[in-house]
Amino acid sequence: MMVKNKIVFFTGAGVSAESGLATFRDSEDGLWNNYHIEDVCTPEAWERDKELVLEFYNFRRKQCQEVLPNLAHFKMAELDDYFEVIIITQNVDDLHERAGSKNMIHLHGELMKSRSILDDSLIYVQEKDINLGDFCEKGYQLRPHIVWFGESLDEKKINTAIEKVKECDVCVIVGTSLLVSPANMIPFYLRKSAKLIVIDPKDVKIDFIESDDYYHLKTTATDGMVQVFESLIKNINK
Ligand code: OAD
């Protein structure tokens, strides 16, 4: 039986930029230029003003529903047919899934889900707004299923992500500034002999990752993914 090469995609907001979703730190339209993290994205913000926090995520959920996956998402999904692919994303949108990707780890949660403030394991599909007074089955308020600053990432997800990075043959990092920890430490576990490709129009600080085989495609996610797709298919099992 042919052994499929293992590919990890590690993605951030830049992969969804060409779909029309703003990144966090790019000038002008960056989300964090228009909102203060501490107002909308922390447990303290939730305690202070639940309505504002819900409004922020209701707005982002609607935006997400109005846009479509782009060619970068689709090319990654298509690679499922040829390789063992896993997508580790910091994004909370569902564009990878809508493009058809099957194996996903959402490190920072998911916009299209809500959960109970009583019990983290009570998680629901959430397509409409979350409002004050929307309760879980045990009668407690629903909140966005998002990891806020100051909260811990799901340890099981982190450990699986690290395992996948350790054993992969190719790691492609797409559209992330790698500025937010601990997610940004995950690519550190790449084997030195594995191929590392970064797709990002800007310089990304990756000097903490050791790789003998590193390329930076200084271009957009869609353009970069077309190139990566062709090169991976051409070199299949070489
Ligand atoms: P950032 O906004 O920090 O970085 C986005 C990256 O995408 C930058 O390096 C851009 O150069 C790049 N970029 C912009 N347009 C692009 C395009 N068309 N194609 C490819 N790359 C492009 O976003 P993240 O690194 O994803 O966390 O941010 C990480 C975390 O910070 C997010 O998950 C979020 C945020 O605070 C939480 O909310 C917990």
Q: Which domains does the chain have, with CATH numbers?
A: 1-20+69-108+153-238 (3.40.50.1220), 22-66+110-146 (3.30.1600.10)
Q: In the predicted model, is pLDDT for residue 37 greater than 90?
A: no
Ligand 1 centroid distance, CA of 168 (Å): 23
Output the CA torsion sign for 57, 58, 64, 67: negative
Q: What is the pTM of this model?
A: 0.95
Compute φ and ψ for 146, nearest 5 degrees. -130, 145
As for ligand 1, residues whose beta carbon falls within 6 Å of it are: 12-14, 17-18, 23-26, 41, 90, 108, 147, 175-177, 179-180, 199-202, 204, 220-221
Helix (H, G, I), strand (E, B) or coil at 159: helix
Residue nearest atom 33 in ligand 1 by C-alpha distance = 90
Q: In the predicted model, is pLDDT for residue 1 greater than 60?
A: no
* Confidence at residue 115, expressed as pLDDT on a 0 to 100 scale: 98
Helix/strand/coil percent split, the chain, to 5 = 35, 20, 45
Compute φ and ψ for 148, nearest 5 degrees. -90, 160
Q: In the predicted model, is pLDDT for residue 27 greater than 70?
A: no
Task: State mean pLDDT over 33-37.
Answer: 77
pLDDT above 70 as % of the chain: 96
Q: How far apart are the C-alpha atoms of 174 and 129, rounded to whole Å?
A: 30
CB contact set of 133 (below 8 Å; sequence gap of 6+): 141
Between 1 and 87, name the one with better pLDDT: 87
- Name residue 6's beta-bridge partners: 84
* Confidence at residue 2, expressed as pLDDT on a 0 to 100 scale: 60
Q: In the predicted model, is pLDDT for residue 87 greater than 80?
A: yes
Active site residues: 108
pLDDT band of 237, cuts 50, 70, 90: low
Could you tell me the two tokens for 34? 């228009």
Residue nearest atom 13 in ligand 1 by C-alpha distance = 14
pLDDT band of 3, cuts 50, 70, 90: low
Nearest ligand 1 atom to alpha carbon 107 = 33
Ligand 1 centroid distance, CA of 2 (Å): 36
